[in-house]
Amino acid sequence: MTRIISGMSMSLDGYVAGPDDSREQPLGTGRNRLFDWYSNGDSPSRLYPSFRLFEPSASFFDEFAGRCGW
């Protein structure tokens, strides 16, 4: 059986988009703030070196992503 796993960033208050989201701007105003953690750390992911996370996030991300297979 095929498994599909999806992941996304979410703010602490439960939002996955910035304010004023629309069809033209699906992630809203300031949308990149929700995804900055993928690139503002000092530890590259072992699986996706372009992701530069803070060490606790890198460890968690690599452990989870490593279980997904290719």
pLDDT of residue 69: 65
Query: Tell me: the pLDDT tens digits for 5-63?
Result: 776 677 777 777 788 888 998 888 877 777 787 889 999 999 889 999 999 989 988 99
Secondary structure element (H or E) that encloses residue 43, with its range? strand 43-44
Statement: residue 67 has pLDDT above 90: no
pLDDT of 25 reads 87
CA distance 48 to 61: 10
Instruction: State the Cα angle at 66 between 49 and 7, rounded to 5°.
Output: 85
**pLDDT for 26:** 83
Q: Where are the domains of the chain?
A: 32-66
